[in-house]
Amino acid sequence: MKTYTSTLSVSGTSVICSILGHKFRSTRKITNHFSEYQCRCCGKQMTEDPRGRLISLTPELRDINETLHMIFRRRQIHI
């Protein structure tokens, strides 16, 4: 799985992440272009926006990713 490092800080979640930055690893591949990530230290979950930047994974984005994953999977079956 891919590992990404970010300097985004979370207040109070993890001192290590606040000082050194998050250590994101890919936890789920949504499509060929979108993935979900989770920090190894504090467990913060992120996803990619349409421009490829990491943003926080909210319940709304989680539902969008799930729907997108189902559509992508169905298209792969038919191709």
| DSSP annotation of 52 | S
pTM of the model: 0.74
Task: Identify the helix (H) or strand (E) that includes residue 37.
Answer: strand 35-39
pLDDT digits (tens, 9 = 90+) for 8-62: 544 555 688 888 888 999 999 999 889 999 999 889 999 998 898 999 999 999 9
Domain boundaries, the chain: 3-78
What b/e string do you get for 28-49 counting C-beta neighbours within 10 Å, with b at 16 or more? eebeeebbbbbbebbebbbbbe
